[in-house]
Amino acid sequence: MIKTEKYVINRVGLTPKFEKPHIQEKLKTKKRGKASPIHPFSVKIHSMDDKNLELDFIGLDFSLANAYRRIILAEVATMAIEKVHMYNNTSIVQDEVLAHRIGLVPLSISPHFFNFRKPGSTESEDVTEETCLKFKLRVKCRGKKDTRPNAVQDPDDVSTDLVDKLVTTEDLQWVPIGNQASTFEGVTVAPLVEDLKLPADIKCNFHITLAKLNPGQKILLEAYAYKGIGSDHAKFQPGLCWYRMLPEVTLNRRVLNEHARQLQQCFSPGVIELIKNEEGDEEAIVMDARYDTSSRNVYKYDHLKDAVTMTKNTKHIIFHVESHSAMKSYEILDSAVTIMIEKCDT
């Protein structure tokens, strides 16, 4: 973006009734003095997997980077449980607290399979295979003395399944609506389970705990998930997003031996490295300023604070996306770019 240019829109051939909509607006520029150089734009991927994305926007204006961040947090859609019908809850967890916890559970299904609810529609009109997912939770604590296996129906109450003390998201069962059973054949429709690779000797329950029950206590409810966006509620946010300027660290003079080791401790690991120079001394060099966290610890030492200059490269943005939903990190950014294009078109 060249800030020294003034853009003037010259409207040509457009009547008040827009009788010739095919004639586009012409964009003219009037330069004021010498124009600043145009910085080339490029994107470099630093690291990328399903959960985390780190890339560099080089030559991008901050307003656009911030626009992508705001869109990711507020306008990229996901699926989340919106309504909970509580039929029986004898646990110590209050109905509204349990419903709130269930609403925050991330789901493993992509939002692209569903449509938004129509404004003003009734609850019966919302529960369709194109707009809704239905889950049920029917559990009863069997107690330690009961040797019957989990997830079997209680003969005294066929509406519930026997579970241990903990009630987790694993106990939420999907109930297909309409033709959803065939539509999502081979697709996992359930609460999201984080795939963590742990050593074999470590046992961990990756499912989210919803409540704890005493023997005989039970929970019976139905939950309905809909498509929504983060501006409606934070539970619809697909992930986190933030950005920062690329740090720049410059050594103003040579720093040797003990002072070099002290300088290295002032920065994050990987920023300052020590090498052997021709005289055999340890000399500090800047290895990779990207890892600098702008701690400013070097300014605590009077004999070192003049040796370093720390700045920010305003033309280099480090952009992070972290997913905590069914969408992959790069899918979140792709959706944000699509929404931005739609905004520009309108």
The contacts of residue 120 (CB under 8 Å, 6+ apart) are none
Domain ranges of the chain: 78-236, 253-306
Rounded to an integer, the average pLDDT of 44-71 is 93
pLDDT for residue 12 is more than 50:
no
In contact, 7 and 27? CB cutoff 8 Å? yes
Rounded to an integer, the average pLDDT of 138-159 is 71
Rounded to an integer, the average pLDDT of 169-187 is 92
Residues counted in the chain: 346
pLDDT for residue 34 is more than 60:
no
> What's the pTM value of the predicted model, to 2 decimals?
0.78
In contact, 232 and 313? CB cutoff 8 Å? no
pLDDT for residue 16 is more than 80:
no
pLDDT for residue 193 is more than 90:
no
Rounded to an integer, the average pLDDT of 209-219 is 91
pLDDT given at position 26: 42
pLDDT for residue 158 is more than 60:
yes
In contact, 225 and 326? CB cutoff 8 Å? no
Rounded to an integer, the average pLDDT of 277-291 is 89
pLDDT given at position 151: 59
Amino acid letter for position 173: Q
pLDDT given at position 114: 93
pLDDT given at position 279: 85
CATH number of 78-236: 2.170.120.12
pLDDT given at position 137: 94
The helix (H) or strand (E) run that includes residue 153 is strand 153-154
pLDDT given at position 20: 39
Would you list the DSSP string of 273-293?
A: EEEE-TTS-EEEEE--GGG--
Least confident of 59-63, 78-82, 104-108: 59-63
The Cβ of residue 27 has, within 10 Å, a number of other Cβ atoms equal to: 9
Q: Is 340 helix (H, G, I), strand (E, B) or coil?
A: helix
pLDDT bucket at 205, cuts 50 / 70 / 90: confident
pLDDT for residue 17 is more than 70:
no
pLDDT given at position 186: 87
Rounded to an integer, the average pLDDT of 135-164 is 75
Least confident of 32-36, 50-54, 239-243: 32-36
Rounded to an integer, the average pLDDT of 280-307 is 89
pLDDT for residue 29 is more than 50:
no
Please state, for a pLDDT cut of 70, what percent of the chain lies above it: 84
Average pLDDT over the chain, rounded to an integer = 84
